Amino acid sequence: MQEASIRIGIVVSEFNYDITHLMLDKALSHAKFLNAEVKSVFKVPGTFEIPLAVKHLASRDDIDCVVTLGAVIKGETKHDEIIAGQVARLIADLSLEFNKPISLGIIGPGATHEQAMERIEEYATRAVESAIKMSRRVRIAGQRPQVIE
């Protein structure tokens, strides 16, 4: 019997869109390569708005996991640290609340624009891979007792 495809929702920030639109392209391509089905792409104004969109997608029965994509670039203040830390915490909380994998594909805090550009493919593909792997493992864990790898 063939395993059912993993159904993904993607949330992507439009802030720093020169970076995040490339991340979205890489994530869509990698999901297709891994035979996952992208059910929805939810674009939000900035990284701060990602958790609300995650909550919306995670509540859907036709989505197994959510991938988040964003870039929080270092500025002259600690704003990047505050945003990135709070968003990461909320994403982890939502994963537990909805019992669904939600991957963190957000570059930063502390990254310069150049560093973020260098990390586009790495963060996007790792976020997709993490969400898919955890979805499969959660699916297996719900079916029978065993060591989950």
Q: Considering only CA atoms, which of 34, 25, 55 is closest in space to residue 132?
A: 34
φ and ψ at 143, to 5 degrees? -95, -40
Q: Which of 21, 30, 56, 79 is catalytic?
A: 79
Coil vs helix vs strand at 82:
helix
Cα(74)–Cα(15) distance, integer angstroms: 13
Specify whether 113 is catalytic: no
Whose CA is closest to 107, among 95, 120, 97, 96? Answer: 120
Query: Cα–Cα distance between 63 and 110 in angstroms, integer?
Result: 32
Dihedral angle computed from the Cα positions of residues 66, 21, 26 and 148, in that order, rounded to the nearest 10 degrees: -20
* Residues assigned a catalytic role: 79
